[in-house]
Chains A and B, each alone.
Chain A
Amino acid sequence: MVFVLRSLWVVLQHMFRKRETYRYPEEKAPLPPRWRGRIVLARDPDGGERCVACYLCAVSCPVDCIALQATEDDQGRRYPDWFRINFSRCIYCGLCEEACPTYAIQLIPDYEMSEYRRDKLVYEKEHLLIEGPGKYPHYNFYREAGVSVGVKDPGESREEEPPVDIRSLLP
């Protein structure tokens, strides 16, 4: 009997506590920036596409829901010709983001992706590519890499010496 009364007392107390649930959709939960939701493809600080179509996100994806095709422009800069994520398969594990060497692919705090038709959950590059750098404002892969691809001249990446003169005989 005493147990029953104690339980009722606890329930009664909760009636005056702050509510844990939200009146969604009128009211939305504040999400931490590292919350793993909808996936985007970001741009680098120069405004260029960050994704270099290296396929690392695709291979790290445990449900194989990322597919893309690499191509390159006349300067040799790699980018995805097309990029597709099947969000009806995605488990929002964030492994793609972790694998991405360029901070291109990012999971962002947005979960409002419900659709009545499954094929609407197949996102193409035009649905994924955003205008800014997303969570990582400063990183610029092509300014770290050894390839020039029209972004800079040889030897102009961070921590690079100017190209050697192979004809020099100086010791």
Chain B
Amino acid sequence: MATIWIDGVSYEADPSRNLLAVILELGFDLPYFCWHPALGSIGACRQCAITQFRGEDDHQGQVVMACMTPAAEGARVSIDHASAATLRKSVIEWLMVSHPHDCPVCDEGGECHLQDMTVMAGHTYRRSRLPKRTYISQDLGPLIGHEMNRCIQCYRCVRFYREYAGGHDLQAMGTRDRIYFGRYQDGPLESEFAGNLVEICPTGVFTDKTQARHYTRKWDLQTAPSICTHCGVGCNINPGERYGALRRVRARYHGAVNGYFLCDRGRYGYEFESSDRRIRVPLAPRGEQNQAEELSVQAAVTRVAKILTSSRRVIGVGSPRATIESNYALQRLVGADGFFHAACAEEHRSSLAALDALREGPSRSPALREIERCDAVVVLGEDLTQSAPMMALAIRQAALAIPRSVAERQGIPPWHDAAIRESVQSARGPVFLLSPAPTKLDDLATRVYRKTPRAIAAAGQAIARALDPQVPALAGDEMDRAGIEEIARALTVAERPLVVAGSGTASEAVINAAANLAWATSAAREDDRAAELAYALPWANSAGLSLLGGAPLDEALAAAERGEVDAAIILESDLDRIAGPGPAERFLGQVRHAVVLDHIAHPTAARADVVLPAATFAEGHGHLVNSEGRAQRQMAVFSPDEPIRESWRWLREAMMLAGYDEADSWTGAEAIAEAAARDHPALARLPDAQLSADFRLGGAKVARAPHRYSGRAAAKLHLNVLEPTPPRDNDSPLEFSMEGSPVLPPGKIETTFWAPGWSSPQALTRFQEEIDGPLRGGDPGVRLIEPAGEPFAYRDVALSAPSPELAPTPVVAAFGSEELSALAPGIAALAPRAFLELNPRDAASLGLADDDVVSVRARGASARLSVRLEPGRAQGTAGIPLGLEDIPVALSFAGELITGS
């Protein structure tokens, strides 16, 4: 720790930081634009000026940029000194000379860093009468608005987009005061992380376009801590609600998981919540004369209870996109052996194998931000940018770990972005990618191998064997010796090696080979440490569902086929989407009764006897377990209209009526989470994921809405002139209102992230324990899975027999493959067309050409796909799109090409 002096007062500071970070951390106000904790300093905007003195007797000092000056021992600086304060004031006035008169129609208004800084620097009126420079803005696609007139040339956008996120199509163009930030021509931004520009840009140049037609200011949004439901990474989000509908989603900082960012699937997928496929009332889709009939709550619950009491064998289909609570309630209702997962066999096996591997062996599953610090990465099979986008972003940072450490050895401080980039140049890695088809991470890889899933597993095992001869040998590894040794060496010498795999290859063997590879590193390394092991699982709660246990959907279908099922309760899943319309219809015909609980309508729901309207992630409470094994709590953002409620509450009501006494004790979200924790040792720490409902600050709960929430004496008055009392929340320490404790709550339940003088997302520095560190009072969530350590037994990598058939491999699309986000119009507009992807040689030997139409079949499901030749794809694989254009998931994992006839 160094002692520094700010305006004559001494403070302790971390000398490895810059003065801007230290000053903000100490709670001072100092304007800045170009610095960002994730991007570092480049000293471009000249806004963070302070005066530095040579010693105690120097009263004149010299102006320096705080973000470019280390917090060195004995540094004496002043924030208030006239020379710096005047410069700051002038700099912002210059920036504003051409700024448009836009705040009222600018979506940044009310949370604009430029507004904040202008006021902070002491301005209230515009003096300039000079004509303003203008630009022609671009159409950047359905997600992001562009209004270049508002730009202050801070360069944050391109630094994030190109350097941090690896995008190519956003650039700084032009010269002198004509600098332009945009694409070379109109068109959607290509990066899966483009939405972060909305928050990174300190002005309203980039705005959230999905919000434009239902725009709401930050001060009018009701918010609660929540978790993204669109993949297994489990990024933290701040969804905002107004008038009973979600208005937007913003990244919620989490010191260990997603940091400051989100992917666009997570940011823009929220509009499924107000899709016209929402189920809002209980239904009997096959009522009188097959006419859908609306049911009262009472009638619906009674019908379900009657089905429960009158059926001999009831099975439940749990959902990897539903919470632990809802799945647990269903599992208790149908019993462990009647509980199935809404996942096809391959996906189910992969998830189970991944969780076993994380629990049995010595490898730890790293949190997202730990992945960023790994310095050697091997990815087996997974196209992370598409299936777990934020994990790909973390690997992008990991690829810079070694080059950055070289720079730091040259004496460059870690925050000095400009100098580090100069030193790093294009150095990346080591990162090794083994995949069936090209991925967006290829550009940073040390080496890329294109292989079939089978060969990827074999190669993983071969590398493992090079590290530890005890790893059983496998026939069929086609990887060259030099390649094997290169990867083995990288894993051995790295400070923090990492192996990544996922369910995207449809191959359990790949999951197991990745575990063996990670574990085997411990044998070759001097420190005996095994590499870290990260899996990308497809759904927000794939891991949680696997921890509860259960059999795959295919077995439920088989049981129904054998006539062993009288009734099926289907939780938040569309069986048609998974197994295909044929098998799903057959299943629902074979079971005498079916009950569907979901928030969106789908063909499966249309065939049920009773459909119950379930709450979405924004309307209910619950826990999800992410791929890392971290349990995280979703808190209801708003209270939905009656009768929408969490699935487990519907199940509880039906169970109580049907005489299942245990449901009585599930009196609230916390009670059922505790019951699940008691029943499943793996979930024992579930209740620790968040503060409990009896948490109070000075006797009060915490408000979900900001203190300047407007319009409550008018908002609902068209319905009734008596203003309604806000609904109560007995399940969390939050209130559905603007009234709550005036004391700042712990970071994990903070809702508005607003501090005096700081209305923009940059207010975050006020809520972190230290800049870039955990939230004040600790980050939320608990890790449920820790490695078992030694001794361990290598996992069995069972390779399928080599076959002349093409191996089906799912082609995952960040936009479109996930069921819920695909209902958001913005995401749907960006979803790719569905093609059967083939290597041209395979296509030639099958006699197929571009655009030929081929049937794909698996387990009674089928689809017709047109062929697209992809020279980069590994020979012997057939890429089948996952979840696009209603193609059943089973086809992507197990589809066979029907050719010839």
Contact = CB atoms under 8 A, between A and B. Distances in A.
A141 B104 contact: yes
Contact of A55 (B131, B132, B217): B217
B129 interface: yes
A36 B314 CA distance: 68
B104 to A, nearest CB: 4
Nearest to B211: A70
Interface string A113-150: 00000110110100000000000000001001111010
Contacts, number: 153
A165 B176 contact: no
Interface string B102-144: 1111000110000000000000000001111111110000000
A61 B721 CA distance: 18
Contacts of B105: 52, 54, 78, 145, 147, 149
A166 B721 contact: no
A124 B718 CA distance: 8
B104 A101 contact: yes
A154 B136 contact: yes
Interface residues of B, number: 50
Given A71-B213, A78-B215, A166-B178, A146 B104 contact: no
Interface string A68-87: 11111000101000001110
Interface stretch (B598-606, B643-651, B705-713, B745-753): B705-713
A110 to B, nearest CB: 20
Contact of A84 (B104, B242, B714): B714
B217 A161 contact: no
A163 B136 contact: yes
**Most chain-A Cβ atoms within 10 A of its Cβ — which of B147, B149, B212, B709?**
B149
A55 B220 contact: yes
B214 A146 contact: no
Nearest to B721: A119
A108 interface: no
A64 B714 contact: yes
A32 interface: no
Given A71-B213, A122-B721, A58 B135 contact: no
Interface in A22-71: 52-56, 58-59, 61, 63-71
B101 A54 contact: no
Contacts of A55: 110, 216-217, 219-220, 710
A145 B109 CA distance: 14
A79 B321 CA distance: 37
A154 B711 contact: no
Contact of A66 (B110, B132, B177, B714): B714
B714 to A, nearest CB: 4
B220 A122 contact: no
Contacts of B708: 59
B100 interface: yes
Contact residues on A (Cβ < 8 Å of other chain), bracket: 35 or more
B802 interface: no
A63 B715 CA distance: 12
B134 A154 contact: yes
A21 interface: no
Contact of B135 (A64, A144, A163, A171): A163
B147 A53 contact: no
Contacts of B177: 164
Given A84-B717, A145-B105, A171-B176, A68 B134 contact: no
A141 B136 CA distance: 19
A71 B104 contact: no
A166 B714 contact: no
Contact of A70 (B99, B100, B216, B721): B216
A68 B711 CA distance: 8
Contacts of B713: 63-65, 86, 89
Contact of A86 (B136, B147, B215, B717): B717
A171 B567 CA distance: 77
Given A53-B215, A69-B216, A145-B100, 11 more contacts: A54-B104, A58-B711, A65-B713, A84-B718, A145-B102, A154-B149, A159-B131, A160-B131, A161-B132, A164-B178, A164-B180
21 contacts: A54-B109, A61-B710, A64-B712, A66-B714, A70-B215, A72-B212, A76-B212, A85-B714, A89-B714, A122-B717, A145-B104, A146-B132, A146-B134, A149-B105, A160-B131, A163-B135, A164-B174, A164-B177, A164-B178, A167-B173, A171-B175
